[in-house]
Chain A
């Protein structure tokens, strides 16, 4: 008995399709168009200006710095959240007495608002704040830093706060992946004389690929779209030292240079797509061949 696919009529898709198209796709497409115009708050007419906005982005020092900072933030957080996330997940997948409590503790910051965590860390990161005082107390005075006011490290500080908050989320996905791996593989490997490093490399990593895949994608895309952490912790400062693409868009919006703002957004869109899609395809292929 085979029933016609036509019985599943398309009208149930319409509500989702309409809302998604009007409030997500339409703005994305018009954004593409406006990024080639001189659209401004204080101008009546809109003129097509070709690649002028993009030329400005790549010659303006602040905008270039924002792009560089976004890249640094993305790379550092991808590495930090995933390496620490796997390490925590492997540790908490062992037979430990306190594993349930520990899992809950490590996961808990990731359910809170970025705003909450960023405000909590602000006084702790001051020159006379909790973190420097702890370094003093244990005799590591040389590690003291002006975490949020030293232009050369400020973006790393923001990245560290983000790693602190979200590694638990990555850990939870890795844990779910680890728990789907059958214990028998490890038993067989132990009988064959494989050590724990060898088991980790030859069993855990390949079978964890779906989780690694989704975590790399999530952290990378999230890293490139970073906004709230920077907005609350530094507001892009000191000066413009920690501006990222997300805060530049807010600034262009506030200044009324909307054409430039949409151009920055288009660039972000291009970057995310160019990096994410090949990675997605590559990881898929790898998974299949395992």
Chain B
């Protein structure tokens, strides 16, 4: 049919154009990946080519000279604990906010929601952490990340918990359960997929961040990967092969997470797109 042939042509045209556009995304990433296996002179051309000889030793060198092992563990600790803490506190709070549905709880929802809009006040946060006498510690950074991500998580959890019928809670309450039981035994098992979405979103944003470590982690032994890499980049600015290897290593955890947990990321994005 004429019409469907026209459609097919249009599709080929769009596909061809999009494939060309995707090269713009792939090329810089390939320059980084191939460059990370080159010698320090070969990499300086910054053009797209395979390494003459694959220098796998760049990676071990980066580990020994860049102190990346330590930074990796710091990052895992900060990212892991702040995601778990965030999941726990946000889901519990959202459960009550949604179920109560009173003026006070609606006001509190807006109070949390402001956190999505308002910028963080960095200098006075440092002040607060100094007052509490743990400035520079990993604990302070974990708590700051947990609080920074509360707004987004409460927003995601509230949308989902609203769709769980109240009838389930009512039966449990009639049998003498308290809020604690209902939350952990009835609601928590039902929100496991949202927990995964929140965990991944928080993990990615915390792992990639440099702002908070820059202001709050003054001691280099506590730095996370991106900040160590930034420091390495300043020190070894001639050895681009090593810098690229560093960047690839920093990106690996989030890439792996993305490959294995794509469906949870998509469901998080869908919540935003459909509910607004």
Question: A residues engaging B (CB < 8 A)?
Answer: 1, 3, 5, 7-13, 15-17, 19-20, 22-28, 30-31, 34, 88, 91-92, 94-98, 102, 105-106, 108-109, 111-117, 119-121, 123-124, 129-130, 133, 164, 168, 172-174, 176-177, 180, 209-211, 213-214, 217, 221, 224-225, 227-228, 231-232, 249-250, 252-253, 258, 261-262, 265, 268-269, 272-273, 276-277, 283-284, 287
Q: Are A1 and B170 closer than 8 Å at their CB atoms? A: yes
Partner of B118, one of A115, A173, A272: A272
Among B143-171, those with CB < 8 Å from A are: 143-144, 146-148, 150-151, 154, 169-170
Chain B residues with CB below 8 A from A261, complex form: 123
Report whether A115 and B226 are in contact in the complex, using a CB–CB cutoff of 8 Å. Answer: yes
Complex formed: what's the CA distance from A210 to B273 in Å? 6
Q: Is the CB of A113 within 8 A of B266?
A: no
Residues of B close to A106: CB separation below 8 A = 21-22, 25
Q: Among A20, A23, A115, A227, which residue has its beta carbon within 8 angstroms of that of B128? A: A23
Return B33 CB to nearest CB of chain A, in Å. Answer: 10
A selection of 18 A-B contacts at a CB cut-off of 8 Å is: A11-B179, A16-B112, A17-B93, A17-B108, A19-B143, A23-B146, A23-B148, A25-B111, A28-B120, A105-B25, A106-B21, A108-B29, A109-B29, A115-B210, A116-B250, A130-B46, A168-B25, A176-B272
Q: Give every chain A residue within 8 A of B46 (Cβ-Cβ).
A: 123-124, 129-130
Query: Hey, which chain A residues are within 8 Å of B208, CB to CB?
Result: 112-116
Q: Are A108 and B47 in contact (CB under 8 A)?
A: no
- Is the CB–CB distance between A10 and B251 below 8 Å? no
The residue on B at minimum CB distance from A26 is: B128
CB distance from A109 to the nearest CB of B (A): 6
Which B residues are closer than 8 A to A by beta carbons? Answer: 11, 14-15, 17-19, 21-22, 24-26, 28-29, 31-32, 46-47, 85, 88-90, 92-93, 95-97, 99-102, 108, 111-112, 115-129, 143-144, 146-148, 150-151, 154, 169-170, 173-174, 178-180, 183, 204, 207-211, 214-215, 226, 229-230, 233, 240, 243-244, 247, 250-251, 254-255, 258, 266, 269-270, 272-276
User: Which of A7, A117, A120 has a CB less than 8 Å from the CB of B31?
Assistant: A120
Q: Which residues of B contact A7 (CB under 8 A)?
A: 173, 178-179
Contact B120 A27 (CB under 8 A): yes
- Assess the A172–B266 pair: CB atoms within 8 A: yes
B244 (CB) vs chain A CBs: closest residue: A120
Give the interface SS of chain B, mostly helix, strand, loop or mixed: helix
Q: How far is the CA of A62 from the CA of B180 in the complex (A)?
A: 54
Q: Are A97 and B210 in contact (CB under 8 A)?
A: no
Question: Which residues of chain A have C-beta atoms less than 8 A from B154's C-beta?
Answer: 16
Contact of B269 with A173 in the complex, beta carbons under 8 Å = yes
* Distance, CA A173 to CA B270, complexed state (A): 6
Assess A116 versus B270: contact at CB under 8 Å? Given A8-B100, A258-B123, A273-B118.
no
Q: How far is the CB of A147 from chain B (nearest CB, A)?
A: 14
Asked if A265 contacts B183 (CB within 8 A), the reply is: no
Docked-complex contact B14 and A96, CB < 8 angstroms: yes
Are B108 and A102 interface neighbours, CB within 8 A? Answer: no
Partner of B11, one of A9, A96, A119, A214: A96
Cβ-defined contact, A12 with B120, below 8 A: no
**B98 — nearest CB in chain A belongs to which residue?**
A8
How far, in Å, is B216 (CB) from chain A's closest CB? 11
**Interface pair B117/A272, CB less than 8 Å apart:** yes
